[in-house]
Amino acid sequence: MAAINTNNQNQTDYRSKTRRFVIGGLFIAAAIVIFLFFARGSEAGAVTNFSMVPGGSPMTWDDWIFPTRNFLSVLSAFCLMVGAYQIARGFGNWTNAALSVVVGIFMFSFLSWAASGGSMNLGGLLRITIIRAVPLTLGAMSGILCERSGVINIAIEGMMLSAAFTSTVVASLTNLWLGMLAGILTGALMAWVHAVLSIKYKINQIISGTVINIFSTGMTSFLSQKFIQKVDYQYLNEPGMFAQLEFPLLSKIPVIGPILFHHNIYIFLMFILVAVLTVALFQTRWGLRLRAAGEHPKAADTLGINVNRTRYMAVILGGMMAGFAGTYFTLGSSGRFDEVMTAGRGFIGLAAMIFGNWHPVGALGAGLLFGFFDTLAVRASILNVPIPSEFLQMTPYIATMVVLAGVVGRSRAPAAEGVPYEKESL
């Protein structure tokens, strides 16, 4: 029932006239910016040279070279058409898809403009974008699991951090797989604490999340200063890393092969988990029950769903997901533990969850977008663009605030989120 409700609301959201006009206007604005700033902004005869081979890949093929101004003008015209259609007819349920296409084109135009007259390794940029999206997307999915069941989770950061720590120690002592398992279990443990505090003791879920965050930061820094940073215990901080895998055939596809199919296991698991979670949440009875607990717990209870047990399960699964994301930092990315190494990624994950409207596919899209900004910010120096890298890094946060405020396509939280469920006694 709750699901039907949400769908109805989403549909009415997209079909409302103002929203249609706002989004259509946004598309046209994008078209204008692309034309005036990016197309006209690059020099008349300049060409953009994109190298499509990520660094370190054994394969080679030609760079992608095109005249900047003409190509961007075409893209701008395309955006203009999309915008006109949106205003005239509206894309209905495909609005989000159209929005992401336009955002993608906008980003691409920006890059073309930035690279015009020089060359840029677009393949490498995209590949790193995907890598950087991993902790954000996984973190967002942890949030989705918890929050769809009605429990706010701002403790993603803390869960990831503590999982990163235990996975490092266990992996150093045993092997990578056990390390990963230890991380996942640590996430589950943290989530269990969160669940007990917020479901059993009914304390405010945001405060409970803050407790987990403060505790995790303190505990990991404490233990790491006390032990693994010391020379005598260095052996505890050498977990190693998961190797890069190549898909047998797919990685040989020109251009997208090395970008998509030559990664370590985390990247593949991320895509699999997005698919699994989408199906599980929206196509199975299990998912319907979970969402019912978050949308209308009273109705769910009437129909015989044990609301609190559902929430416990969802929060612990979410913790396992965050734990898995945490192990990525050590076993998939850096191969060692450093204090506060998650550096706010859990909160960007939270942002990605909101930006993606509490949907796994949306979270992946948001993760990719935010990962892209992350990548750009690091490489801002190689772009000949007068935008300070700090402002690129701010973009995910500001974008989330804009979406949350409902300026462009509103993001809607599960209705009963943050409210402890109490059975009414007669």
Partner 1 sequence: MTKENQSEEKKPNSFQIFLEELQHSPRVVTILAILTGIVLGGVLAAVTSLDFYAAFAISPWEGILTGLEIAWNTYAALFTGSVGDIGRISDALAGGNEAEIRRAFFPFFESLVQTVPYLFGGLAVAVGFRSGLFNIGVEGQIFIGAITSVWAGYFFKGLSPIIHVPLTLFFGALGGALWGFIPGLLKAKTGAHEVINTIMMNYVAFRLSEFMLRGPIKDPTEFTPKSPWIEDSAKFFRFFGDPIRFHLGFFVALGIAFLMYWLLFKTTWGFELRTVGSNPRAARYAGMNNVAVTIIAMSLSGALAGMAGANEIMGVNFRLMPAFSSGYGFDSIALALLGKNHPFGVALSALLFGFLRNGARQMQLRAGIPIDIISILQAIILAFIAAPAIIRTIYRLKEPNYEEEGVKLTGWGGQ
- Pairing relation of β-strands 244-246 and 262-264? antiparallel
Q: Minimum distance between the CB of residue 401 and partner 1, rounded to whole angstroms?
A: 5
Could you tell me which residues are beta bridge partners of residue 262?
246
CA nearest neighbour of 320 among 420, 189, 424: 189
Q: Which amino acid is at 263?
A: H
Least distance in Å: CB of 127 to partner 1? 25
Least distance in angstroms from the C-beta of 57 to partner 1: 32
For tokens 């300070």, the residue is 388
Task: Check residue 242 and report its DSSP letter.
Answer: P
Least spacing, CB of residue 2 vs partner 1, in Å: 11
Name the minimum Å distance from CB 205 to partner 1.
7
Closer by beta carbon to partner 1, 50 or else 417: 417
Question: Which run of H or E residues covers position 263?
Answer: strand 262-264
Q: Which is nearer to partner 1, 123 or 362 (CB)?
A: 362
What's at 343, amino acid-wise? A
Q: Which amino acid is at 326?
A: G
| Closest to partner 1 by CB, 121 or 205 | 205
Give 92 or 344: the residue with its C-beta nearer to partner 1: 344
* Shortest Cβ 321–partner 1 spacing (Å): 19
Instruction: Point out which residues bind partner 1 (CB under 8 A).
Output: 147, 150, 152, 154, 197, 201, 203-208, 210-215, 217-219, 221-223, 225-227, 294, 344, 347-348, 350-351, 354, 388, 390-391, 393-394, 397-398, 400-401, 404-406, 413-419
The set of residues, in sequence order, having a beta carbon less than 8 Å from that of 39 and lying 6+ positions away, is: 68, 69, 72, 73, 76, 109, 113
Least distance (Å) between residue 144 CB and partner 1: 13
Of 40 and 412, which has the nearer Cβ to partner 1? 412
Torsion of CA 143, 146, 152, 158, to 10 degrees: -60
Within 8 A by CB and 6+ apart from 355, the residues are 362, 363, 366, 369, 370, 396, 399, 400, 403, 411
Residue of 71, 2, 72, 60 lying closest to 35 (CA atoms)? 72
Q: What single DSSP character describes residue 39? A: I
Strands 119-121 and 64-67, how do they pair?
unpaired
Q: How far is the CB of 223 from partner 1 (least distance, A)?
A: 7
Nearest-approach distance from CB 51 to partner 1, in angstroms: 29
| DSSP letter for each residue of 281-344 | HHHSHHHHHHHHHHH-HHHHHHTT--HHHHHHHHHHHHHHHHHHHHHIIIIIIISS--TTTTTT
CA atoms within 13 A of residue 364's CA, in its CB half-sphere:
16
**CA-to-CA separations, 420 to 224, 251, 311, 425, in angstroms, rounded:** 35, 48, 10, 15
Closest of 166, 161, 165 to residue 182, by C-alpha: 166
Question: Please, what is the angle between helix 95-115 and helix 122-148, to 10°?
Answer: 150
Helix (H, G, I), strand (E, B) or coil at 154: coil
- Residue 85 or 397 having the CB closest to partner 1: 397
Whose Cβ is closer to partner 1: residue 19's or residue 262's? 19
Whole-number minimum distance, CB 303 to partner 1, in Å? Answer: 19
Residue (83 or 349) nearer to partner 1, CB: 349
CB of 190 to partner 1, least distance (A): 11
